[in-house]
Amino acid sequence: MTEHTGKQRSGPHPGGSPRSAKYSSGMLENAVEVRDVVVKYGEVTAVDGVSLSVPRGSILALLGNNGAGKTSLLQVCEGFRGPDGGSARVLGLDPIADHDDLMPRLGIMLQSGGVYPWATAGEILQLFASYAANPLDVDMLLDRLGLRKFAKTRFRRLSGGEQQRLSLAVALVGRPELVFLDEPTAGMDVGARQTTWELVDSLRADGVSVLLTTHLLDEAESLADQVVIMDNGTVAATGTPAELTAAAGIDLLQVRAEPGLAIAPLAAQLDAKVTEEGPGEYAIAGTLDTESLAEVLAWFARAGAQVTAVNTRRRTLEDVYLALTAGATR
Amino acid sequence: MTTGTFTPSPGRAPMRAILKSQVRMELVLTARRGEAVVLAMGVPLLVLLGAGLTEATNVPTDDRLGYVVPGVLALTVMSTAFTGQAITTGYERSYGVLKRLGASPLTRPGLLFSKTAAILCLVGIQILALALVGVAVGWRPDFSQVLPAVGVTVLATAAYCGFALLIASLLRPETVTAGATLIYVLMLAAGGIMFAAPDLGTAGYFVLPLAAHAQALRDTLTDGTAVPGSIWLSLTLWAAIALTLAARKFRWE
């Protein structure tokens, strides 16, 4: 269970939660507990030692580019394939060994497909509702997702966004404790995306745990309690959206002055990264508070420079993400 | 936490209810696909009326209907359990339906059970309907051996289902469709349905399960005689091989 721990430690922010040696089976355990999972497709390693946990009633977003390994990791949690290393526990159960006990408690939304193309939206949702002991009202759910008028439309005649919304409804109709949403808003227009976000928000409010994948930064930022940034099969960073954007070295100060100033002493003085990005365009990246801002300007004054513009930028999740994923592919 | 719309209340419906609604779905979808209905009813009906009532083909007996009707019944079993089943399963696999339904409270065994039940249901309905047409145009079946007839039909259905699931797991759905239809047409022509199969003696029963099944239905339903041991053996072997291969090679995605 503990092989591959070396990979875990090499990430910049190893998983935030304390590691427990044994999984408990009580109600207090995490909804999802993934430890050092490895997934290989022949020679290709899609997931290379990922650990994460989804606390009950919270939303975790797996953020990453296509091919980062998000879906592969989800497949392990859903029991579609076993890990080639490490372990996954879902609601305290083994996704493969306890498959039949686990499935009624899960809601699964695949990235595409998974339903009969010739069945109507209403029939599909009704079918999945009939699997459940206490299903949600099918008409209510169709209304909620704006699908009521498509109830008699065959699945293959629905647009991509409509198919996505139906797949979401299918995942929710059995009133699951935990839902896996693989790129839930892919192919949706702005309105549908907003509806979906509100719905996911109400899932959390009602105590449902959610593990979703996305490559949309705004989606991760607005929905998730925890964001795990995946890159090339490994965890590049973990934290709340605020933690990720406020972490050390992510504020940026841009100063415009004469080109060609000797900036090395400033970098040493501040313990920050100072670069001249264009002629006379200086960027100071580091943990910058009011004091260090004053220090920077004082330094420019001492250097006899004429400062013509000062701009501070709080980094967005996008900056963090781009910096992490670009760094890892190099 | 207040109780909201989505407050978890998970649980599996009673398995009987799940299977019932799944079987109904399978049947509704089959009825909705035109080519499946034509394969299952249209072609056998044409063969029954064409070969049974005209002299268009040579049959090795004077009792045309007594030869053709049981053959058509056997052909129908093959069209539903093999050709239709292979095409449907191939596409369901490529659409991710098998994978998705396997990962639902229905479970994989539940899905296989529903498919089998739907196929048996369809086969039953089709045989009944075609037999009634046969009787209407003058076929006079003998009912003394009806149980062995049901027995060989179940064996043949199992063998066809096994091969259907096997090729649906190995090939792309387009290839499955082409291949399964081609085999159907070949069997229609050479399987001893409309006219006599190439006379291979007992060996023929082991080469062509359709010919074996058709002959068993002629023996039982037309002549009221027992099913030859070689046919029992042939169909049992075919069923065992097909189901073993299917169990080994079946792929959910």
Distance CA A227, CA A324 (A): 13
Percent of chain A topping pLDDT 70: 87
The pLDDT tens digits for B17-73 are: 999 999 999 999 988 887 777 778 888 999 899 888 888 777 777 788 999 999 999
B6 CB neighbours in chain A (<8 A) are 136, 172, 175, 202-203, 206-208
Instruction: Give CB contacts under 8 A, 24+ apart, made by A276-282.
Output: A280/A256, A281/A254, A281/A256, A282/A254, A282/A255, A282/A256, A282/A257
Query: Going from the N-terminus, what domains does chain A have, and what CATH number goes with each?
Result: 5-245 (3.40.50.300), 251-314 (3.30.70.260)
DSSP string, A181-210: EESTTTT--HHHHHHHHHHHHHHHHTT-EE
User: Which pLDDT value is given to residue B200?
Assistant: 67
Chain A residues in contact with B96 by the CB 8 A cut-off are 110, 112-114
pLDDT category of residue A20 using cuts at 50, 70 and 90: very low
Q: Does the structure show a pLDDT above 50 at A248? A: no
Q: Is A201 on the interface with B (CB under 8 A)?
A: no
Query: How far from B170 is each of B90, B167, B249, CA to CA, in Å?
Result: 9, 5, 8
| Interface predicted TM-score (ipTM) of this complex, two decimals | 0.85
Strand extents, DSSP E, chain B: none
Contacts of A100 in chain B (CB under 8 A): 107
Which residues lie across from A180 on neighbouring strands?
A108, A211
Are residues A110 and B107, on separate chains, in Cβ contact within 8 Å?
A: no
Shortest Cα distance, chain A CAs vs residue B15, angstroms: 8
What mean pLDDT comes out for the span B99-112? Answer: 86
Distance CA A62, CA A214 (A): 6
Question: Which residue of B32, B100, B107 is the best one to mutate when testing the A interface, meaning the one whose CB has the most A CBs within 10 A?
Answer: B100
pLDDT, residue A153, reads: 96
pLDDT tens sequence across A305-319: 889 998 877 666 777
The Cα A128–Cα B10 span in angstroms is 13
Q: What's the pLDDT at B1? A: 47
Which of helix, strand or coil describes residue A214? strand
Helix (H, G, I), strand (E, B) or coil at B124: helix
Beta bridge mates, A214: A63
Calculate what percentage of chain B has a pLDDT beyond 70: 97
Smallest CA–CA distance from B109 into chain A, residue: A100
**pLDDT tens digits along A132-182:** 999 999 999 999 999 999 999 999 999 988 999 999 999 999 999 999 999
CA atoms B92, B98, B104, B105: torsion sign? positive
Q: Which residues of A touch B104 (CB under 8 A)?
A: 103, 108, 128, 131
Are residues A230 and A74 in contact, defined by beta-carbon separation less than 8 angstroms?
Answer: no
Supply the DSSP symbol for B12.
Answer: B
Q: Are B9 and A123 in contact (CB < 8 Å)?
A: no
Which distant-in-sequence residues (6+ apart) come within 8 Å of A197 by Cβ? A185, A219, A222, A223
Identify from B2, B5, B94 which residue to disrupt to test chain A contact, counting A C-beta atoms within 10 A and taking the largest count.
B5
Is this structure's pTM higher than 0.90?
no
B22, B97, B103 member nearest A78 (Cβ): B103
Nearest CA-CA distance, residue B96 and chain A, Å: 4
Query: Taken in order B146, B147, B148, B151, is the CA torsion positive or negative?
Result: positive
> Residue A7 pLDDT more than 60?
no
Q: What pLDDT shows up at residue B124?
A: 92
Q: B2 pLDDT band (50/70/90 cuts)?
A: low
pLDDT given at position B148: 95
Is A130 within 8 Å of chain B by CB? Answer: yes
Please indicate whether, in this complex, the C-beta atoms of A130 and B21 are within 8 angstroms of each other.
yes
Confidence band (pLDDT; 50, 70, 90) for B177? very high
Q: Mean pLDDT, to the nearest integer, of A8-35?
A: 54
Lowest mean pLDDT among A280-289, B115-124, B167-176: A280-289
Residue B98: its chain A contacts at CB < 8 A? none
Contact B8 A116 (CB under 8 A): no
Q: Are B100 and A134 within 8 A, CB to CB?
A: no
